[in-house]
Amino acid sequence: MADDSLWFIFLNACIINNFVLTTFLGICPFLGVSGKYETATRMSMAVMFVMLVSSTCAYFINQILVAFDVEYLRLICYIAVIASTVQLVEMFMKKFSPALFRALGIFLPLITTNCAILGLALFQTFREYSFLQSVVFALGAGAGFGLALVLMAGLRERLELHDVPSIARGAALTLILAGILSLAFMGFAGIGG
Amino acid sequence: MSDAATSTPPMDVFIKGLWRDNPVFRMLLGMCPVLAVSNSVMNAFAMGAATLFVLTMSSTLVALLKNFIPKQVRIATYIIIIATFVTVVDYVIQAISLDLYMALGAFIQLIVVNCMILGRAEAFASKNSVPRAILDALGMGLGFAFALFLLGAVREVLGNGSFLGFDLFGPSFEPWSVMILPPGGFFVLGFWLLIFAYMKERSEARQQEREEAPHGG
């Protein structure tokens, strides 16, 4: 399979090099929002949308920056784009779906500091993806983030009913669970060579 | 709340970041770089130093400018300040050691979205004077670097059989390579948290015993 075929880029971002479990991007929301299945799905929807928009913007901004030979402004421009996209999503949701807006609450503005989104924009720049490849990469990364978050939320909801030692309750147990999930995802490493 | 914050002695502001409110072990902030670049002591050390620099500089600037930044756009302003210093660090590391730059990869630029830095700017630097903000940033940054070092040391010794690149166990050692791979990061941090939770529980139990002893006896 060619390394730059669209299908491979999608599969690579989603499963083989899952953003959360093997590249360690977006760990904060992964640990913070994965307590309930309901919020986890909504959060991943919002992240997927922001990823798609910011990846598209990042592609065009990079073209402009390269044209003017001012690449050192890249980081500042990207983060500004992401922050404004998040603001846009927030206003849009408030107007058209107030229920969802209230449900997401504080997590919505926190997407700005989600490293998965900035990481996505940086990676697509380093790998010099074309426009179509960037969009597919963003879709794959969003799907991978959602997959990891929903899997984790399912596991944690079941763990609520079990008796765990008091010292392991909370963050420690979540991290060890994440380690086991990450081990499972390592099994995909061979796909596509 | 601001009264309480300004009345704590300066030494306390510095110390609390190191241990009691350690950003990694206690507040679980800035997890992404902690897990991703702690696969060797050298990487962990470089990352800790870079974060310490960015945190100190941006906290100083935020504390200096706190009266000029309008409330509505403060988060955006903080992010731009942080991004500026991260760009500086990015170019400096690239100039000093290209190997290190390659090893850390995108994670240098990702310091921008380290929630610990934005968190300190919003929660501390924007409410306190410059010297106190610097002390707080130094304490938090050192605490962060310390946590990175703890993780990096365990992962490099177990996963590679070496410490700072020096071979520890000789050629017969079979490296436990899962420890330098991604799952190892989660496991090692999980076990450190377990150890700290156990220590906390024991010291609390001991304190309770001490309080109850005179009444019981």
What does the pLDDT look like over B120-143, one tens digit per residue?
888 888 888 898 899 989 999 999
A11, A15, A24, B8 from B1: Cα distances, Å = 50, 46, 35, 11
Which H or E run contains B83? helix B74-96
Are B106 and A126 an interchain contact pair (Cβ–Cβ within 8 Å)?
yes
> From the first residue on, what is the mean pLDDT of each consecutive set of 10 residues in chain A (193 residues)?
74 85 83 81 84 89 88 85 82 80 71 82 87 91 91 88 79 87 84 60
Nearest-Cα residue of chain B relative to residue A83: B76
Are A113 and B29 an interchain contact pair (Cβ–Cβ within 8 Å)?
no
Select from A71, A115, A180 the residue whose CB has the most chain B CBs within 10 Å, as the one to mutate to test that interface. A115
Token pair of B76 as six digits: 């955006």
> Rounded to the nearest 5°, which phi and psi values hold at B43?
-60, -45
Are B187 and A176 an interchain contact pair (Cβ–Cβ within 8 Å)?
yes
CB nearest to A113's CB, from B118, B183, B198:
B118
Structural domain for B21, as ranges = 2-213
Q: Which residue in A28, A88, A13 sits closest to A57, CA to CA?
A: A88
Residues in chain A whose beta carbon is closer than 8 A to a beta carbon of chain B?
Answer: 21-28, 31, 72, 75-76, 79-80, 83, 109-110, 112-115, 117-119, 122-123, 126, 166-168, 171-176, 178-180, 182-183, 186
Q: What is the ipTM of this complex?
A: 0.81
Q: A126 CA to chain B: closest CA distance, Å? A: 9
d(CA B164, CA B153): 8
B69–chain A Cβ distance below 8 A for any pair = no
- The DSSP line for A59-78 is HHHHHHHHHHT-GGGHHHHH
Nearest-Cα residue of chain A relative to residue B83: A76
d(CA A174, CA A178): 6
Counted residue by residue, chain A has a size of 193
- The DSSP line for A7-52 is HHHHHIIIIIT-TTTTT--SHHHHHHSTT-HHHHHHHHHHHHHHHH
Low-confidence ranges of chain B (pLDDT < 70): 1-7, 214-217
Structurally, how many domains does chain B consist of?
1
Token pair of B129 as six digits: 């004077």
Three-state SS across A177-189? HHHHHHHHHHHHH
